[in-house]
Amino acid sequence: MSAAMNGGIHDGNSGGTGGGMHGGATISERDLIHTRIWREEPEADNPFAAKAAYCRGFDVFGELVGQARWVEMLLLLLRDRPPAPQAVDTLEALAVALANPGPREASVHAAMCGAVGGSTAAAALIAALSVGAGRHGGARDVYDAMQMWQQCGPDVEAWAAYDFAAGSEPIEVWPRATRLPGFDPHGVSTPTVLRQLLATLVQCGAGANTAWLARHVDGIHARIGLPLALSGVAACVFTDLHLTPDEGEMLFLLLRLPGAAAHALEQKVSGFRRFPFYPVELEPAQQEKTQSATLGLTPTKTHGVPLGACPDGTGGAQPLTGPLGQTPALCRGFSTSVPEPA
């Protein structure tokens, strides 16, 4: 834990923005901002400029800036007390893992779509948030999985009997769940990277649930019939950090934005001619030929390029091959379909 947070809790959790008078006028109680999170002291000559800002009583610019880690600040925003060192290390490790879901992931692909079409930076990130908010490996999947952890705990038999289709809200805005949350419906085995992540999180002291998950990941797969997904690991870690499902859902959305931003910026420069237009496989392979004939397009050939290679031999940015050499479905594979040379 940083030295800035070792001094204990300050007396600064009261609501309001500070400074109740300006120019002889008293600020009405109904005009005050009431929050346990933040307090400001105004400059003498400008009530809209802060002389000091306090988060949970800690002087942000006098104590935290330059001393606290970013994830410490995230956890402090959510809790009255500063986080334990193990919690900070755990969240930081998870944040690195979540930072870039990769260009095949639907939310990142959405940001790339916005950027290549000339949308603003805000629109590209909003696209990523919107597409990455749902139940297919998105933030709502984390919410659902955290609810399952709260109800069932580390009990795989309870998980197997869990009623995942029951709505958690009086009026559901999300499509009904079709499988257990936190698992990959299209997965074959638990990815190596998830095993590595779990091992690292255990070393960071993530908590009892994460340690249990790491020990039983293969047995859970065998019992549930689906491999673990990254959303399931995140839900477990957030539960160990004593976050609520609402907080976990919000953090998951936030922590995946850097990758969406980076790929959107890259795609904006690359342009639409180097955009991965994945085939929409609504029907068998004949579908693409039918569409090409209807639109009068030249037949296309898929050029798969190994990860790290570049078609022009420069070793720079490149289209990427699909998983295990398969022709990728929408947002599932790395490849680019380009017209045959004339």
Residue type at position 172: E
Q: In this structure, is residue 21 part of a structural domain?
A: yes
Whole-number Cα distances in Å, 271 to 109, 116, 266, 268: 14, 6, 9, 6
Query: What is the three-class DSSP state of 125?
Result: helix
90 in Cβ contact with 77 (< 8 Å): no
Both 145 and 247 in a single domain? yes
Indicate the pTM of the whole model. Answer: 0.76
Which residues constitute the domain of residue 27? 3-83
Q: Are residues 154 and 248 in the same domain?
A: yes
Phi/psi of residue 170, nearest 5 degrees: -55, -40
Boundary-marking domain end, from 49, 66, 83: 83
Does 104 reside within a domain? no
The structure tokens 């600040």 sit at: 73
What is the structure's pLDDT at 2?
A: 53
Backbone angles phi, psi at 66, to 5 degrees: 90, -10
What pLDDT shows up at residue 325?
A: 38
Q: Has residue 199 been placed in a domain? A: yes
Number of domains the chain contains: 3
Last residue within a domain, chosen from 59, 83, 107? 83
Q: Is 199 helix (H, G, I), strand (E, B) or coil?
A: helix
Provide the pLDDT for residue 176: 87
Do the beta carbons of residue 17 and residue 35 sit within 8 Å? no
Greatest pairwise CA separation for the chain in angstroms: 78
Same domain, 183 and 235: yes
Claim to verify: residue 189 and residue 234 sit in the same structural domain: yes
Q: Looking at residue 171, what is its pLDDT?
A: 75
* 16/60 same-domain check: yes
What is the tally of helices (H) and strands (E) in the chain? 13, 7
In a domain, 91, yes or no: no
Q: In whole angstroms, give the CA distance from residue 241 to residue 233.
A: 12
pLDDT tens per residue across all 342 residues of the chain: 454 554 444 444 444 444 444 444 577 777 788 899 999 999 999 989 999 999 999 999 999 999 999 999 999 999 999 999 999 999 999 999 999 999 999 999 999 999 999 999 999 999 999 999 999 999 999 999 999 999 999 999 999 999 988 766 677 788 888 899 999 999 999 999 999 999 999 999 999 999 999 999 999 999 999 999 999 999 999 999 999 999 999 999 999 999 999 999 999 999 988 887 767 666 665 555 555 555 555 444 433 434 433 333 334 444 444 444 333 333 344 444 434 444
Cα three-residue angle 210-214-216, rounded to 5 degrees: 115
> Is residue 286 located within the same domain as residue 246?
no
Residue 267 in any domain: the answer is no
Q: Looking at the structure, do residues 289 and 251 belong to the same domain, yes or no?
A: no
229 and 142 both lie in a single domain: yes
Q: Are residues 223 and 167 in the same domain?
A: yes
Q: Is residue 51 part of a domain?
A: yes
**Cβ contacts of residue 307 below 8 Å, gap of 6+?**
320, 321, 334
Burial of 187 (0-12, 13-18, 19+ CB in 10 A): middle
Instruction: State the amino acid at position 94 in one-letter form.
Output: L
Same domain membership, residue 281 and residue 251: no
Examine the domain organization and report whether 283 and 231 are in the same domain: no
Question: Could you tell me if 250 and 301 lie in one domain?
Answer: no
The verdict on residue 319 lying in a domain is: yes
- Strands of the chain (E only): list them: 21-22, 25-26, 38-43, 46-55, 58-59, 300-303, 336-339
Domain end, chosen from 66, 83, 100, is at 83
> Is residue 126, in this structure, part of any structural domain at all?
no
